[in-house]
Amino acid sequence: MWRRASHLLRAAAAAGVGGPRRVPHPFPPPPALLSLAPRVASYSASYATQAAPAAAPARTPRTAGSLLRLNDLRDNPGARKQKTRKGRGIGSGKGKTAGRGHKGQKARGTARFGFEGGQTPLRRRLPRRGFKNPFSLTFQPCGLGKIAKLINAGKIDSSELITMKTLKETGAIGKQIKDGIRLMGRGAEEIKWPIHLEVSRATARAKAAVEAAGGTVRLVYYNKLGFRALLKPEWFEKKGRLLPKAARPPPKQRDKVDSIGRLPAPTKPLPFTPEELEFAAKRDAARVTA
C-alpha cells in the first residue's frame, strides 16, 4: 500500500511540474489514501536518505613519514629478556636457595679462580714448556725481486737511498712492522743496477747480489722510539714533540749492525769508512765459519 501511494505521489508531482501529460488512471485512489499522502511522502524521503550511502571522505595519500611513528617503535619479540628475579617466592622457581642448592662453599660464597679445594691445581700439574725471550726481535722479510719490480714500476727511485721508510710507503712490505726489515735474496737475479739500501738485517746472498751490481747495503740500528720516528715523523709533529736522538745499539747487537740509524730519514747514502769495511769483513768471515 505504501509503495503504491508513493508511486502515485511521484507521478502527480511529475505531471504538475510540466512533464509529459499522462492519461488519468481509470480507477482513482480512494479518499483515505489521499489523506495519507503527506505522511507517506515524509516516510519515503526519510527512507531514501537512510538507504543512500553517505559519501566517504577523501583519503589522504600515505607518505613515507606516516608509515613510521615514534610511538610505534619497539623491539622485536624476544629481543629483550627479563632479568631472572631470585629469592622472590617459590612460584618463580628461583626462591629460597635462589638456584644455589643446599649448603656448601658454592652456596655460601665464592672461591678464588683456580682453587680446587686444596688439591694441586691444574696449572701446577701440567709441565712448563719453553720460555718467552724478552729480548727477541722480529724483522719483516723483503725480497730483492719485489724491490726490483717497484723500481721498474717507477715507485722507487734507484738513484736515491732506499730506507725502510721508503719500503713501507711504496708497499714493499706490509703494515705489521715490529723491529725492522730483513733483506732477503729472493729475486736477486733481477738486480742489474746499483742500489743503496739501509735495513736492519740482510742475508749473505742478498748483500752479495747488491754489491755485485755496484750497490751497498748498510745495516742500521733503531730502537723502538727511533724506529717510530723513522716511519712516522708526522706523529711527533702532531704531538708537538721533537724527533728523538738516534740511540746506540746494546752490546749484544753491536756486532750485527754497521752504524746507528739516522733521523730524520736520510736521502743520500753514507759511504763506508775503512774501519767499517774492516769490521764488516770480519763479521762476514765469522758468519761463514760459524
* pLDDT for 122: 95
| pLDDT digit string (tens) for the chain, length 290 residues | 556 666 667 776 665 544 455 555 555 566 655 565 566 556 555 555 554 455 556 655 555 555 788 998 999 999 999 899 999 999 989 999 999 999 988 899 888 999 998 999 999 999 999 999 988 999 999 999 999 999 999 999 888 999 999 999 999 988 888 899 999 999 989 998 899 999 999 999 999 999 999 999 999 999 999 999 999 999 999 999 999 998 999 998 888 888 888 888 888 887 888 877 787 787 777 776 65
Torsion sign across C-alpha atoms 211, 159, 261, 142: negative
Residue pair 139/180 in contact by the 8 Å Cβ criterion: yes
Report yes or no on whether pTM surpasses 0.85: no
* pLDDT for 25: 55
* pLDDT for 222: 93
Q: Which of 232, 186, 224, 180 is nearest to 206 (CA)?
A: 186
* pLDDT for 87: 93
* pLDDT for 63: 57
Residues 225, 179, 284: CA angle, nearest 5 degrees: 120
